[in-house]
């Protein structure tokens, strides 16, 4: 169930939903180990003591002692059943767990959080927050997830697109950010997230808050096939993705919230959304694609720290708050700075003042430095506008780092020089392979080169230090992300 | 006196290191009525309706092998037994439920990233 691909179990679930990016091969199993405690004694332990006692038993000297590699994900399985929980790095499971249970707890093990809905009246259990576990399309709402039947029991129908995005399993080229091209309205064709070989976007991020670039809506399509064959119907899912608040500021990881139509008795996923300056309308849904119209003004908004200048009502050049304030004052003082006619007509300025020229025909009289500043702001306008250009999702790098982009799925953050090197290595790949292949097949490297292994299956031939660097960059990946 | 046994699985799949001692997540969810109905349909039970639910289980009625049956579904494991004969398991856990899922064919990850797939993905009104 855990390890063998092709049997319809956990390995297949992860392989399919991750598009081959999650690979169970190499997993090691130790045990069974007999615990020194009775079942009652063991059950009475707290959760971390349960884990620690298990690890101690597994690592105790003896022929079956298990060495637990640093950084490995650990699944602890007990007989009889004692408890079930997960943490970032592992999961604690009963012996008779089904695929869904281990996928959910294993999802925590790789860093995923529970999914929620926007229903303010939904509380799944007394241990749940409002809306928590109310996304049946997502394994991270298990056991409240729609299921597929497998030889090993029920499995989830999949993961929602934001969770794939968070894990870096979506190819960069299949994601769109609404407004990043400057358009206010776009009709998107979506491919089913569970049929990624079909044409269309797999995920669209729709940002709306210039003050929080990690807050946006997402749209995705799920169809009734494969692991999702049992879902009620083909559906476009709209989610809101946002972080929690700490001390009045967004903090922590992004959490995904399914947007239900709360006016319907069945609270089905909404097909229309009009909130936060965003309009989303599902136009069509089929078993192979969906079309969705999105409108928002995010492309016209300013980056955080800037506001519209409003030298006239339609002046949306982004400036500092101080410049806008000065501009308003200039507009008020403008008439008093006119000479009452002169060589430049009725708008001729008094000596010491010039036309501002913030826009063509702007004859407000200002001191020369104000005109200079307006011209500079006009030149900088593009760089200060459209926050959608800066929305890079859950794998946004901290300042000073960029994505390595060894391939379209490579979201590892590295210094810019490393990305340049990586691009060069890709360009040189063919010239560094052994002509005609060799001991390692057609991708055998020439002497002096080795496979880079930046990601599973990366057989680009590079000098040895490049492979070492790629491995080190992978190991430090999470510390270089902008958010948890 | 029974003693507990454990199995330790060390998965080497790539992961992002977390904090040194992250808090365990609480536990799994309870099955909602919406999902309970879907689970039974997948298991081949037809004409299903919810009779009632409590904190630990959902009571449903449906047609099993042509006969109407009152069933009780465990609220977290999804195991379904006859409400009047709890020893009769209608839907087990850890084993197939009705028709086994048809597994999708794995798609080459490079194929998914083909830019050709995005040619018609966006359209802006003129």
The residue with tokens 């506001």 is: A307
Mean pLDDT of chain A: 94
**Residue B99: what pLDDT?**
61
Looking at the predicted structure, is the pLDDT value of residue B6 above 70?
no
% of chain A surpassing 90 pLDDT:
80
**Residue A2: what pLDDT?**
64
- Report d(CA A295, CA A273) in Å as an integer: 10
Q: Are A210 and A306 in contact (CB under 8 A)?
A: no
Q: Are B3 and A39 in contact (CB under 8 A)?
A: yes
Q: Are A143 and B76 in contact (CB under 8 A)?
A: yes
Looking at the predicted structure, is the pLDDT value of residue B15 above 60?
no
Q: 3-class SS at B99? A: coil
Count how many Cα atoms sit within 13 Å of the Cα of residue B94 in the half-sphere of its side chain.
Answer: 6
Q: Are A60 and A52 in contact (CB under 8 A)?
A: no
**Residue in B with minimal Cα distance to A268:** B34
Across the interface, of A32, A84, A408, the residue whose CB is closest to B6 is A32
**Residue B7: what pLDDT?**
64
pLDDT in tens, A403-437: 999 999 999 999 999 999 999 999 999 999 999 99
| Listed ranges A64-78, A79-93, A309-323; the one with the highest mean pLDDT | A309-323
Structure tokens at A345: 């007509």
Looking at the predicted structure, is the pLDDT value of residue B20 above 60?
no
Taking CB atoms and an 8 Å limit, are B8 and A29 in contact across chains?
yes
DSSP classification of residue A286? -
Residue of B3, B23, B28 best to disrupt the A interface, most CBs of A under 10 A: B28
**Residue in B with minimal Cα distance to A190:** B121
Taking CB atoms and an 8 Å limit, are B106 and A72 in contact across chains?
no
Q: Is A260 left (phi over 0), alpha (psi -120 to 50) or beta?
A: beta
Q: Is A437 left (phi over 0), alpha (psi -120 to 50) or beta?
A: left
Structure tokens at A309: 């200048």
Pairing of β A147-150 and β A153-156:
antiparallel
**Residue A85: what pLDDT?**
81
Of A275, A165, A279, residue with least CA distance to A214:
A165
Across the interface, of A19, A85, A189, the residue whose CB is closest to B27 is A85
Of A99, A125, A107, residue with least CA distance to A8:
A99
Looking at the predicted structure, is the pLDDT value of residue A71 above 80?
no
Pairing of β A90-94 and β A73-79:
parallel
**Residue B100: what pLDDT?**
60
Instruction: For residues B14-32, give the mean pLDDT.
Output: 59
**Residue B18: what pLDDT?**
36
pTM of the model: 0.90
pLDDT in tens, A443-456: 999 999 999 999 98
**Residue A262: what pLDDT?**
98
Can you state the angle between helices A464-475 and A416-432, rounded to 10 degrees? 140
Across the interface, of A77, A128, A147, the residue whose CB is closest to B7 is A77
**Residue A371: what pLDDT?**
98
A78-87, A133-142, A257-266: which has the minimum mean pLDDT?
A78-87
pLDDT in tens, A182-241: 999 999 999 999 999 999 999 999 999 999 999 999 999 999 999 999 899 999 999 999
% of chain A surpassing 70 pLDDT:
99
Nearest-neighbour CA in chain A from B80: distance (Å): 12
N- to C-terminal Cα distance for chain A? 31
Instruction: For residues B22-38, give the mean pLDDT.
Output: 81
pLDDT in tens, A97-118: 889 998 998 898 888 999 999 9
pLDDT in tens, B44-54: 999 999 999 98
pLDDT in tens, A152-178: 889 999 999 999 999 999 999 999 999
B10 contact residues in A (CB cutoff 8 A): 27-30, 66, 68-69, 72-75
**Residue A66: what pLDDT?**
86
Looking at the predicted structure, is the pLDDT value of residue A72 above 90?
no
Q: A151 burial class (0-12, 13-18, 19+ CB within 10 angstroms)?
A: middle
pLDDT tier at B103 (50, 70, 90 boundaries)? low
pLDDT tier at B108 (50, 70, 90 boundaries)? confident
Taking CB atoms and an 8 Å limit, are B18 and A87 in contact across chains?
yes
A106 contact residues in B (CB cutoff 8 A): 11
A145 contact residues in B (CB cutoff 8 A): 35
For the question of an ipTM over 0.85, the answer is: no
**Residue A69: what pLDDT?**
79
A16 contact residues in B (CB cutoff 8 A): 103-104, 106
The residue with tokens 């057989």 is: A459
**Residue B26: what pLDDT?**
54
Write down the H helix ranges in A398-483.
416-432, 464-475
**Residue B1: what pLDDT?**
43
**Residue A6: what pLDDT?**
82
If you write DSSP's letter for every residue of A225-272 in order, what string do you get? Answer: SGGGTTSSS-EEEEEEEEEEEETTEEEEEEEEEE-B-TTSTT-PBPSE
Q: 3-class SS at A450? A: strand
The phi, psi pair for A445, rounded to 5°, reads -85, 155
**Residue A106: what pLDDT?**
85
**Residue A87: what pLDDT?**
80
Higher pLDDT, residue A321 or B91: A321
**Residue B14: what pLDDT?**
35
Taking CB atoms and an 8 Å limit, are A30 and B101 in contact across chains?
no
Q: 3-class SS at B91? A: strand
N- to C-terminal Cα distance for chain B? 77
Identify the sign of the CA torsion B41, A86, A135, A160: negative
- Report d(CA A459, CA A462) in Å as an integer: 9
Across the interface, of A19, A23, A196, the residue whose CB is closest to B13 is A23
């Amino acid at each position: 169930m855990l390890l063998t691909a092709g049997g319809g179990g956990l390995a297949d679930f992860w392989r399919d939903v991750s598009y081959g990016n999650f690979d169970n091969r190499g997993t090691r199993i130790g045990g069974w180990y007999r615990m020194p405690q009775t079942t009652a004694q063991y059950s009475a332990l707290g959760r971390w003591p349960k884990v620690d006692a298990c690890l101690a038993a597994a690592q105790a000297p003896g022929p079956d002692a298990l060495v637990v590699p640093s950084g490995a994900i650990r699944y602890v399985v007990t007989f009889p059943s004692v408890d079930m929980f997960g943490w970032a790095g592992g999961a604690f499971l009963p012996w008779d767990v089904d695929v869904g249970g281990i996928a959910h707890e294993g999802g925590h093990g790789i860093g995923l959080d529970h999914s929620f809905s926007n229903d303010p009246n939904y509380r799944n259990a007394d241990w749940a927050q409002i809306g928590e576990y109310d996304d049946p399309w997502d394994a991270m709402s298990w056991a409240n997830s729609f299921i597929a039947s497998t030889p090993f029991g029920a499995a989830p129908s999949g993961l929602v697109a934001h969770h794939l995005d968070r894990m870096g399993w979506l190819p960069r080229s299949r994601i769109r950010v609404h407004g990043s091209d400057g358009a206010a309205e776009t009709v998107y064709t979506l491919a089913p997230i569970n049929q990624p070989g079909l044409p269309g976007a797999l995920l669209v991020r729709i940002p709306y808050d210039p003050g929080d670039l990690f807050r946006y809506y997402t749209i995705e399509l799920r169809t009734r096939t494969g692991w999702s064959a049992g879902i009620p119907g083909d559906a476009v899912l709209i989610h809101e993705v946002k972080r929690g608040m700490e001390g009045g500021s967004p903090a922590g990881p992004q959490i995904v919230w399914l947007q239900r139509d709360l006016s319907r008795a069945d609270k089905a996923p909404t097909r229309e959304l009009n909130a936060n300056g965003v309009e989303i309308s599902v136009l069509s849904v089929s078993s192979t694609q969906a079309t969705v119209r999105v409108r928002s003004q995010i492309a016209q908004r300013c980056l955080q720290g800037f506001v519209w200048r409003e030298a006239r009502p339609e002046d949306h050049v982004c400036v500092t708050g101080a410049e806008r304030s000065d501009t308003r004052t200039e507009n008020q003082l403008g008439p008093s700075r006119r000479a009452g006619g002169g060589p430049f007509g009725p708008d001729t300025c008094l000596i010491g003042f010039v036309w501002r020229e913030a826009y063509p025909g702007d004859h407000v009289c200002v001191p020369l430095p104000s005109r200079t500043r307006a011209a500079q702001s006009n030149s900088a306008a593009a760089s200060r506008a459209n926050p959608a250009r800066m929305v890079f999702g859950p794998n946004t790098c901290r300042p000073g780092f960029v994505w390595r982009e060894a391939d379209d799925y490579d979201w590892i953050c590295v210094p810019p020089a490393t990305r340049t090197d990586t691009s060069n290595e890709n360009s040189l790949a063919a010239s560094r392979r052994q002509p005609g292949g060799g001991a390692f097949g057609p991708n055998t490297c020439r002497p002096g080169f080795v496979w880079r292994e930046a990601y599973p299956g990366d057989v680009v031939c590079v000098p040895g230090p490049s492979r070492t660097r790629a491995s080190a960059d992978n190991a430090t990946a999470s510390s270089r992300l902008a958010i948890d | 006196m029974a003693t507990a046994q454990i199995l330790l699985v060390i998965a080497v799949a790539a992961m992002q290191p977390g904090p040194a001692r992250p808090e365990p997540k609480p536990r799994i969810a309870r099955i909602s009525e919406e999902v309970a109905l879907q689970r039974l349909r997948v298991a081949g039970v037809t004409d299903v309706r919810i009779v009632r639910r409590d904190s630990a289980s959902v009571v449903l009625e449906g047609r099993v092998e042509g006969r109407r049956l009152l069933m009780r579904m465990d609220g977290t494991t999804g195991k379904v037994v006859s409400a009047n004969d709890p020893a009769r398991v209608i839907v087990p856990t850890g084993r197939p439920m009705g028709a086994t899922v048809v597994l999708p064919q794995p798609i080459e990850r490079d194929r998914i990233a083909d830019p050709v797939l995005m040619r018609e993905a966006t359209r802006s009104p003129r």
